Amino acid sequence: MFLRTESFKEFTRFYPVVTGIVVIHIVLYLASVLPVFPKYMVIDWLGGVNLYILQGEFWRLVTAIFVHNGFAHMLFNSFSLVLFGPGLERMFGKWRFIGIYLASGIIANIATLLLKPPYYAHVGSSGAIFGLFGVYIAMIVFRRELMSRQNSQIILTIAAIAFIMTFLQPNINVTGHLFGFFGGFVIGSIVLGRGKELTQSIRTISSRAARSTTSGGSLTPQGIIFIILAILAVIGLLSR
């Protein structure tokens, strides 16, 4: 489910939404640093500034998900999406995945708007990515049979580390992370309860992942390597 064995060409074909989002990240980052536009114009236009949203610039609730403050911020958020997004895109299909991802990010940004001061500004896809964690946790809580024991161990470990670091790292939008996770958990719980076709697809993908990555209930070396990579992604995701 989490380990990637596809070539670059296969990845772009199997996971067009994840690929497209990463491309948007890169394009907007390049637009913010290349001398095409004045410095910081992209962030000024698209970033989540509460005061501007309150004045009617509601598009910022969406566009702030795709804008990043610096190369490292963009790189690690994109890396996290590549690690955690493909499994859900394959399970739910591209349209459901787009809906879950955007809805989680928007919920995180609305919560930030309501609970943070008017002068508060934020950018990045962290809230949407925490929404993906929420979907995985919903799967473990309500539909445990759809995920192998190894994959459950992996996502619980990474989610726990992500939450701990959310409260330890400075300059983190804790509100966005918490409500992004909550939004993903609720949406995932709803989507997981609907449709025999969706349930069968999840069972098929999960069973294939289990056969390819483990022969028992314990973590394989590949699973341990993934956890290490995911921890590095989380550290980068939460570092500023």
- 78, 122, 177, 206: the catalytic one is 177
**DSSP string computed for 107-160:** HHHHHHHHHS-TT-EE-SSHHHHHHHHHHHHHHHHH-GGGS-HHHHHHHHHHHH
So what CATH class is 8-238?
mainly alpha
Domain boundaries, the chain: 8-238
Active site residue 177: yes
Instruction: Give, for all 240 residues of the chain, the pLDDT tens digit.
Output: 666 778 888 899 999 999 999 999 999 999 988 877 776 788 899 999 999 999 999 999 999 999 998 898 899 899 889 989 999 999 899 999 999 999 999 999 999 999 999 999 999 999 999 999 999 999 988 888 878 888 888 888 888 888 887 787 777 899 999 999 999 999 998 888 754 444 554 555 455 544 444 444 455 555 555 555 555 555 555 554
Q: Name the DSSP letter for residue 2.
A: -
- 104, 126, 148, 206: the catalytic one is 126
Q: Are 232 and 68 in contact (CB under 8 A)?
A: no
Q: Are strands 121-122 and 48-49 parallel, antiparallel or unpaired?
A: antiparallel
Q: Is the pTM of this model over 0.85?
A: no
Active site residue 126: yes
Question: Which residues sit opposite 49 in a β-bridge?
Answer: 121
pLDDT at 238: 54
Q: Are 72 and 116 in contact (CB under 8 A)?
A: no
d(CA 192, CA 146): 10
